[in-house]
């Protein structure tokens, strides 16, 4: 029961933040982060393409990716699992490379640029590795890299949790944003490592006692 509740909360965060980019399209195009950008950057065509590709397809990846961790879906509807995986892969690649570009212009300067750039690289790398492993029919490795990939994707959620907290505590948005550019994803990687390690130990225990 506890696991089910935790999964429901997890899915709720993923869905709500996955839909978050709609605010930019339907309600306020100058919402949130865009308030900290210069008019020169906001009028840059290439930056706008990269920004909206990043938030929309990153949001899509977050919106659908959580379902891949549902064991019943994987067992009972393999084709749906594969199709969601394909959409997630394409979304991550476009959003990841777009994110790598816009990271250069990140609020907070070089500290933020480095944090978000490394996040984008980790996200792209782990997702590609997950794809290559399943192509080689290495299911366990595929699952491991997907956990890391979605942990990186989940940075969109943790960023929106940490940023208002740190801004309130520090009373300085720029400083908070610099910290969050790292804090939004590094703890996620540790959680992913713990999950992968636990799964490995559980599998070893099952084989030993089979």
How high is the pLDDT of residue 78? 87
Task: Give the model's pLDDT for residue 75.
Answer: 81
Token pair of 198, please? 């636990």
Average pLDDT taken over every residue of the chain? 90
Domain ranges in the chain are 2-65+73-208
pLDDT confidence tier of residue 166, bands split at 50, 70 and 90: very high
Tens digit of each residue's pLDDT (9 = 90 or more) over 114-153? 999 999 999 999 999 999 999 999 999 999 999 999 999 9
**Confidence tier at 204 by pLDDT (50, 70, 90):** low
Query: Residue 177 pLDDT more than 90?
Result: yes
Nearest Cα to Cα of residue 18 among 153, 173, 182: 153
Q: CB of 15 within 8 A of CB of 63?
A: yes
Task: Determine the average pLDDT of the residues in 150-163.
Answer: 96
29-73 per-position pLDDT tens digit: 666 677 778 888 888 999 999 999 999 999 999 999 999 888 888
Each residue of 11-29: pLDDT tens digit? 898 998 888 888 877 776 6
Q: Is 26 buried (19+), middle (13-18) or exposed (0-12) by CB count in 10 A?
A: exposed
Is the pLDDT score of 203 beyond 70?
Answer: no
Instruction: From residue 63, give the alpha-carbon distance in Å to each of 33, 84, 156, 181.
Output: 20, 11, 11, 21
pLDDT over 50 at 158, yes or no:
yes
- Any residues with CB less than 8 A from the CB of 112 and at least 6 apart, and which? 103, 106, 177, 178, 181
- Interatomic CA distance for residues 130 and 111, integer angstroms: 29
Q: Rounded distance, CA 163 to CA 17, Å?
A: 14
Structure tokens at 55: 């938030």
Written as six digits, the tokens of 56 are: 């929309």
Mean pLDDT of the 93-109 span: 95
pLDDT, residue 205, reads 47
**Cα(92)–Cα(102) distance, integer angstroms:** 15
């Amino acid at each position: 029961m506890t696991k089910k509740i935790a999964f429901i909360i997890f899915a709720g965060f993923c869905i709500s933040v996955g839909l978050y980019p709609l605010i930019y399209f339907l309600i306020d195009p100058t919402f949130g982060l865009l308030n900290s950008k210069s008019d020169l950057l906001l009028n840059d065509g290439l930056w706008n393409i990269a920004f909206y590709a990043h938030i929309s397809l990153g949001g899509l990846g977050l919106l659908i990716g959580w379902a891949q961790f549902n064991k019943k879906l994987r067992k009972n509807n393999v084709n749906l699992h594969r199709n969601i995986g394909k959409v997630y892969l394409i979304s991550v690649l476009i959003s990841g490379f777009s994110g790598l570009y816009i990271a250069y212009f990140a609020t907070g300067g070089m500290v933020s640029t480095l944090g978000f750039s490394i996040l984008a690289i980790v996200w792209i790398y782990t997702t590609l590795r997950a794809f290559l492993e399943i192509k080689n029919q290495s299911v366990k490795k595929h699952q491991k890299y997907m956990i890391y990939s979605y942990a990186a994707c989940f940075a969109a959620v943790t960023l929106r949790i940490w940023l208002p907290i740190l801004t309130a505590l520090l009373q300085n948005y720029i400083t908070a944003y610099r910290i969050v550019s790292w804090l939004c994803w590094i703890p996620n990687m540790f959680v992913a490592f713990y999950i992968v390690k636990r799964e490995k130990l559980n599998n070893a225990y099952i084989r030993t006692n089979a």
